[in-house]
Amino acid sequence: MKISVKELVERAMGEIETISVEDAQALMDNDSTAIIDIRDIRELYREGKIPGAVHAPRGMLEFWADPESEYHRDIFSSGKKLVFYCAKSHRSALATQALQNMGLENICHIGGGFEAWTQAHLPTEDVPKK
């Protein structure tokens, strides 16, 4: 049985927590929260990011989140609430679902993604090319 990306995203959305850009903004300065940008680095260079967001590319996310992986990053085992976002919330929905299936708790994603964030005229910061 073939499943479309649209169906995959819809299923993920039904299993995960989605927060508004306003709720995400309210969490920005909370030390017990980390905002995670999963977009491709070229998107960050081109469009900027949410101030203070940590970049964790979608292709490495599961490896960075797994404490048994040689690529593990401490942010994923920090106990902080992890708030994921991408451009429009499709990739972040799938990513949040995958990490939830791996056992991560206290995670969510931003509905509408970075596009909704910028449309709400919320602050962004540039990402300089390395």
CB 86 within 8 A of CB 113: yes
Q: Is residue 95 part of a domain?
A: yes
pLDDT digits (tens, 9 = 90+) for 18-68: 999 999 999 998 999 999 999 999 999 999 999 999 999 999 999 999 999
Residue 126 within a domain: no
Q: Say if 124 falls within a structural domain.
A: no
Q: Is residue 125 part of a domain?
A: no
Residue 84: CATH number of its domain = 3.40.250.10
Per-residue pLDDT reduced to its tens digit, 66-120 = 999 999 999 999 999 999 999 999 999 999 999 999 999 999 999 999 999 999 9
- Determine the pLDDT at residue 56: 97
In a domain, 106, yes or no: yes
Q: 72: which residues sit within 8 A by CB, 6+ positions away?
A: 63, 64, 65, 66
Total domains in the fold of the chain: 1
Reported as a pLDDT band with limits 50, 70 and 90, residue 122 is very high
- The runs of H, that is alpha helices, within the chain are 5-15, 21-27, 41-47, 61-65, 90-101, 113-119
State pTM to two decimals: 0.95
